[in-house]
Amino acid sequence: MIKNNRFSWRCYDLNSELPINWQSELLNISKKAAAKTLVPTSITSRESKLVTRIPVLTVNGVELRKEAPWLYTLYHGLFRDLAQLESTETVVAASQDIYGAVLNVQRGTDMRYECHIDSNPIEGLLYVTDHPKGTGGELVIANLPDAKSIDEVEKNNSVIYPVAGNLVFFDGRDRAHYVRSLVGDNNSERVIVAMNYYTESCPESSRPADLSAHLFGKPSC
């Protein structure tokens, strides 16, 4: 029997709404992604104690706004309007650009994204690259609360396969999730825009103080 608090998400195909060269522009910007090694000790981390380092590539939101102002406009406009449909409260974009809308990149077959929970009530993911079943790079989300590691997420989960131009919204505050490694060769690349939205009952001010330093190596200001 399916429990009524099982994980679910909403997905929009925005290919007809996005600027004509949106994908190639974001793929170009992804070449500028900064390398960082996550040490999964944030309050939001859900990694096994055996995992001590996770290499990631990110273009932070300040850089992304400079490189793709049209995306910043969508984050505050159409995407926010769609995110609004996820809540009865007013949904707002982040006031701090550094983590509002960022570009996350996986290259080759060794990288994956940290297993974690979200601190914001609505997460938006715009997929830039396609990763069909069997090619890795899928988002794996625990169906039920309390999973505290990849092994626990893998016991009972939902999987979102990235489709370019799809915008996904979900609440990941109590559902640990991570991104699997890519399958293939070292030229494989996964690119997404990850966006944070907030509400009055879960405002931006509740974002953990250490999270920006954890993800970007910089405190928010």
Which C-beta is closer to Fe ion: that of 11 or that of 134? 11
Q: With contact defined as beta carbons under 8 Å apart, do 202 and 120 qualify? A: yes
Class of residue 17 by CB neighbours under 10 A (exposed 0-12, middle 13-18, buried 19+): middle
CB of 114 to Fe ion, least distance (A): 9
Compute the least distance from the CB of residue 197 to Fe ion, in Å. 12
- Which parts of 91-130 interact with Fe ion (CB under 5 A)? 118
**Kind of pairing, strands 54-59 and 177-179?**
unpaired
Binding mask 25-54 for Fe ion (x = CB under 5 A): ------------------------------
Restricting to residues 163-192, name those near Fe ion by CB under 5 A: 172
Specify the residue, 64 or 117, whose C-beta has the smaller distance to Fe ion: 117
In the complex, minimum distance from the CB of residue 186 to Fe ion, in angstroms, rounded to a whole number: 26
Task: Tell me the closest approach of the beta carbon of residue 90 to Fe ion, in angstroms.
Answer: 22
Q: Which is nearer to Fe ion, 23 or 104 (CB)?
A: 104
Residue closer to Fe ion by CB (options 136, 172) is: 172
Tell me whether residue 69 or residue 145 sits nearer to Fe ion (CB atom).
Answer: 145
The CB-of-184 to Fe ion minimum distance in angstroms stands at 24
| Distance in Å, CB of 23 to Fe ion, minimum | 22
Count the residues of the shown chain that bind Fe ion, applying the rule CB under 5 A.
Answer: 2
**HEC string for the chain:** CCCCCCCCCEEEECCCCCCCCHHHHHHHHHCCCEEEEECCCCCCECCCCCCCCEEEEEECHHHHHHHCHHHHHHHHCHHHHHHHCCCCCCCEECCCHHHHEEEEEEECCCCCEEEECCCCCEEEEEECCCCCCCCECCEEEECCCCCCCHHHHHHCEEEECCCCCEEEEECCCCCCEEECCECCCCCCEEEEEEEEEECCCCCHHHCCCCHHHHHHCCCCC
Nearer residue to Fe ion within complex by CB, 74 or 141: 141
Residue number, nearest CB to Fe ion:
118
Binding site for Fe ion (CB under 5 A): 118, 172
